[in-house]
Structure 1
Amino acid sequence: MNVYPTPGAARGFVSLLIGMAMTIADVPMMAIAMPGIGADLGLGTGPLALIMGAYPLVVAMLLLPAGQAGDRFGRRRVFLVGGTLFLMGALLSALAPGPLLLAGARMLQGVGAAALAPQALAMIPRLFAPVAQSGAFARLAMTGSFASVCGPLVAGALMVAAPVWLGWRAIFLAEAMLALAVMLLASWRLAPHDGGTAGGSRPAEIASFAAAILCLVAPLSLGPVFSWPAPVFLLLAAALPCAAVFARMTAQAGSAALIPPTLLRKPSFCWSLVFLLLAVSAPPGFFVVLSLALQSELGLSPLQAGLVTAGFPAGVVAGSWTSGRLALQPLARVALGTLLLCGSFLLIHAILPGLTPTHLWPLRAGMLAAGAAMGLTVTSVMQLGMWGLPKLLAGAGAGAIQTMQQVSMAASIALSLAVYGQALETQTGLEAAATMMWLQISTTGAAALLALVMLRVSSFHQQRTEA
C-alpha cells in the first residue's frame, strides 16, 4: 500500500490546510482590525466586544453538530457548504454599514468556520494511508500555528496598504478571496464522500447543547454593553435548564451522543477541560485588548502593532515544539507551562504602564515568553485530555476539546474587553490594559496551583501503591 497520497489527494489536502488556516487566522486578524472598526463606526469597547465575540461563540455552538453533519451528509459536501458560508460572511462583513450588520455577518462566518474545521480533521484518514496519517496531522497543526503567527502581520499589512476609504474592510475582502480559492480547489480535487452514517445526535440534543453555550457566553458580551439589565441575567439563568435537557438527551443517546457519557468518566479528560477554561482561555482576550491599547494609546499603525504582538504566536510555535521533547508526564508539563504563563503575564503587567513608542522591546520579549509558555501549556493540556482515550472516543474527545477552546475564547474576549472598558473610565489605555491583566494572572495562577496540587496527590498515591 502506498503510504503517500496521490497527487490529486495531495492537492485536496492543500485545500484542507488552507481552509483550516483561514478559520484560525481570523481571530488574530480581527484583533488588529478592532481599533479601525471602532474609529470608523464610532464604537466603544462594549459593541466591539459583541462584534469580536460573535465569531468564536457561533463556532463553539456548532462545532460538534457540524462534525456529525459531515458523517451524515458527506464531509466534502459540508466542507464546501462551510466555505461558501464563510465567503458570504466575509463579503457581508466588508460591506456592513453598521455594527449590527457586521456582527450578523461575523456570525455567518462563524457558521462557515464551524462547518470547515471538523471536516478538515476527519478527512485526513481518507486521503492518507494509516502510517502517513500522523505526519498529515502534524502538518495540519503546524499550518494552524503558522496561521496564528501570520494573522496579525497580514492584517496589519493589508490595512496599511489599503486605501483610506477601504481600511479594515480590506481584511474581509482578502478572506473572501482566500475562501473562494479554497472552495475552487476543494471542489476540483477533493473526492466525493457520500456520508450517510445512520443514527447520530437528535435535533433536540443539538439545540439544547447550542442553547446552553449561548446562554452561558452571550451574557458576558451583552451585560457590559447594556449595563446588565434583567433579561441578561434571565438568559444566564436559562443555561441551567438547557444544560439539564442536554444531559438527559446525552444519557438517552449513549455512545451516539454529541459528548458520550463514558468520555466524561475519564478523569484526565475532565481535568483537561478545566485547564482549558482556566489557562488556555487567558490569551485571546489579552491579545485583543493589547492590540487596541497599542494603536489607540501609543498611536502605532496596525502593522506596527502586529509586529509587536507577533512574538506571542511565534512563541506558541516554539513552546509547542519544545513540549514534546520534555521528559515529563503531561500533568507535570501543564504545571510548568501554567507557572511560566502566569509569570510572563505578571511581567507584561509590570511593563505596560511604562511603554513608549520608542521603547517597545520589553513588551516584545514579554510577548515571546508568554507565547512560549502558552505553547507548552496548550500542547500539554491537549495531550492530558487525549491520554488514554480509546479510539472510539478519540473523535468525540477531540471535538469536545475544540469546543471548550472556542467557548473559552469567546468568554475571554468578552470578559477582558468588559474589564478594560470599565478601567478606561479612570485610567489611560495602557494602565487599563495592565489592570485587565489581573484577570489573566488570576486564572493562570489558579490553573498552576491546581496542577501542582494534582501532582502532589498523584505522587502521594503512587508512593502508597509502591509501599
Structure 2
Amino acid sequence: MDIHPDRTATRSFAPLLIGMAMTIVDIPMVAIAMPGIVVDLGLGTRALALLAGAYSLVVAMMMLPAGRAGDRFGRRRVFLTGGALFLIGALLSALAPGAVWLAGARMLQGIGAAALAPQALAMIPRLFAPAAQPGAFARLAMTGSFASVCGPLLAGALLVGAPDWLGWRAIFLAEAALALTVMLLAGRRLAPHNAAGSAASRPAEVASFAAIILCLVAPLSLGPAFGWPVPVFLMLAAALPCAALFVRLTARAGPAALIPPALLRAPRFRWSLVFLLLAVSAPPGFFVVLSLALQSELGLSPLQTGLVTAGFPVGVVTGSWAAARLPLQPLARVALGTLLLCASFLLIHAILSGLTPTRLWPLRAGMLAAGAAMGLTVTSVMQLGMSGLPKALSGAGAGTMQTMQQVSMAASIALSFAIYGQALETRPGLEAAAAMMWLQIGTTGAAAALAKALLRGTIFNRRKAET
C-alpha cells in the first residue's frame, strides 16, 4: 500500500524536507559570503559571474535526470547518493585555494543538490492521502522558506564568529556537517520503495537534455562576462539541434522518457511550468545582487545584511501557511500571489535609491511583503502542477517542475548580474540594483496577467457549460 499512516509519513518526509532545504539554504548563504570570497581569492567581474552561476547551472542540468533516477533506482538510494556528493563538494569548497577549484567543487555540490531536491516533492503523492497533500505541499514550501530565513542569518553569524583565517570557508564546513546529519537521518527513517525499472532513460536522452540547459543558460553568464564573443552565440544556436534530438528521443522512449509525453498533455501542469519560469524563480537574482549592493554600497556587515533581507523568507513562511487556508482554487491563488509579488517588487524598487545605513526599515517592510506574496505563489503553483498527476508520473513531474525552477533561477542570477554590472558603469550601487529590478517586475507582472486571463477563461467556460 502506497499511502502511509500520518505519523509514519511525517517521519519519512522529514529527512526529505531537510535535504531539500539544504539545497536551498546554500544560495543565500553563499550570496552573503560572496564579497569575502571575492576579496580572499582576488576574483574579478568575470570570475564572479561564472562562480555565482555554477551551482545553479549544474542543478538545472541534472535535476530532471535525478528525478527520473529516483523512479528507476529508488528515492532513498538516490537521496543518499546526492547527500554524499553534496558533502564532498562542500568539503572541497572549504579547501579551495582558487576560483577554478571552488567552481569545480560547487559543480559537484550542484550534482548532489540535484539528486536531493526532487525526491521530497515526488514523494508527496506516495506518502500522503489526497486530502493531506495540500498540507504537505504547504509544509514543503514553508520548509524551503525557513531555510531561506536561516540562510542569511546563519551565514552572517558564521562569518562574524569565524576566525579570520577561516572566514567564508566556515559556511561550507557548516554545509558539510548538515549534509552528514541529513544522511544519517535518512538512513534511519527513509524506507526503500519499489523502483520502476521501466522508468529508465537512455544516456543519449540525458545528455541531450543537459546540453539544452547548458547551451541556453551558460551564455547568460559567459556573454556579459566576456563581452558577448561569437562562441557564445554559437552555443545559443546549438540549443536548437540539441532540442530536436531530445524531442526525437523522447518520442521513441514514450512513458520511459525524461519528460513523458503524458505529462505535458496535462494543462495545469504545463501552465505551472510557465508560472515557475515567470514568477517563482524571479527573486534569486534580486536577492544575490541586493546582498552584494548592501555590503558594498552601504557598508553593512554580513550579519546586518542577513537581518535586513530576512524579512523576505519570513514572509514566505507566512504566505505558505496562508496559501493552504485560503478558500480559493490554486489558479486563483496563483493570480493573487503573482499580482502581490509584482506590486511588492515595485515598492522595493522605489525604496532602494533612498536607503541609508540608518534608515533600513522601509526595505525590511518591503522584503516582508514580497516574501508573503512569494509564499502564496510558490505553494499554489506547486499544488497546481502536482495535484491530479498519476503516481507513475510523480517523479517526472517533480523533476520537471524543479528543473524549470532551477533553470529560471540560474537565468535570473545571470541576467540580474548582467543588468546590475551594466548599470554600475553609470550609477551608484543601489540605483544599479533598482534598475536591475525591472527584470523581476516585468516577469512577475507578465505572470499575473497570464494567471488572470486563464482564470477568466476558466470561469467563462464553466458558466458556458452550465448554460
The alpha carbon displacement at 1:327 in A equals: 2.3
Please state whether the residue corresponding to 1:354 is helix, strand or coil. Answer: coil
In the superposition, relative to structure 1, how do residues 423 and 211 fare at CA in structure 2: closer, same or farther (>3 Å)?
same
Between the two proteins, the alignment pairs up a number of residues equal to: 464
One-letter code aligned to 2:146: F
Q: In structure 1, what is the Cα distance between the partners aligned to 2:189 and 2:22?
A: 19
Aligned to 1:3: 5
User: Which 10-residue stretch deviates more, 382-391 or 106-115?
Assistant: 382-391
The alpha carbon displacement at 1:243 in A equals: 1.0
Contact 1:276 1:381 survives alignment (8 Å): yes
Contact 2:142 2:321 survives alignment (8 Å): no
Q: What does 1:191-340 correspond to in 2, within 5 Å?
A: 191=191, 195=195, 197-340=197-340
Please state whether the residue corresponding to 2:326 is helix, strand or coil. Answer: coil
Aligned to 2:410: 410
Q: Deviations over 1:204-263 (max 9, x none)?
A: 111111111111111101111111111111111111111111111111111111111122
One-letter code aligned to 2:276: L
One-letter code aligned to 1:114: A
One-letter code aligned to 2:334: V
Aligned to 1:33: 33
Q: In structure 1, what is the Cα distance between the partners aligned to 2:188 and 2:373?
A: 41
Contact 1:45 1:417 survives alignment (8 Å): no
Q: Deviations over 1:21-64 (max 9, x none)?
A: 21121111111111211222232444222212111211111112
Contact 1:46 1:421 survives alignment (8 Å): no
Q: In structure 2, what is the Cα distance between the partners aligned to 1:244 and 1:203?
A: 16
Aligned to 1:372: 372
Q: Deviations over 1:432-457 (max 9, x none)?
A: 00110111111111112222222333
In the superposition, relative to structure 1, how do residues 132 and 369 fare at CA in structure 2: closer, same or farther (>3 Å)?
closer
Contact 2:142 2:316 survives alignment (8 Å): no
User: Which 10-residue stretch deviates more, 39-48 or 238-247?
Assistant: 39-48
The alpha carbon displacement at 1:354 in A equals: 0.7
Q: In structure 1, what is the Cα distance between the partners aligned to 2:86 and 2:369?
A: 33
Give the percent of matched residue pairs that are identical in Structure 1 and Structure 2: 79
1:397 is aligned to 2:397: yes
Q: What is the TM-score with the length of structure 1 in the denominator? A: 0.92
Q: Deviations over 1:113-136 (max 9, x none)?
A: 11122344556788x685997466
Contact 1:220 1:414 survives alignment (8 Å): yes
Q: Deviations over 1:273-296 (max 9, x none)?
A: 111111112100000010000001
The alpha carbon displacement at 1:11 in A equals: 6.7
Contact 1:46 1:418 survives alignment (8 Å): no
Contact 2:67 2:398 survives alignment (8 Å): no
The alpha carbon displacement at 1:4 in A equals: 5.1
Aligned to 1:171: 171
In the superposition, relative to structure 1, how do residues 464 and 184 fare at CA in structure 2: closer, same or farther (>3 Å)?
closer
Aligned to 1:443: 443
In the superposition, relative to structure 1, how do residues 345 and 196 fare at CA in structure 2: closer, same or farther (>3 Å)?
closer
User: Which 10-residue stretch deviates more, 150-159 or 270-279?
Assistant: 270-279
Q: Deviations over 1:78-135 (max 9, x none)?
A: 2222111111111111111222211111000001111122344556788x68599746
Aligned to 2:43: 43
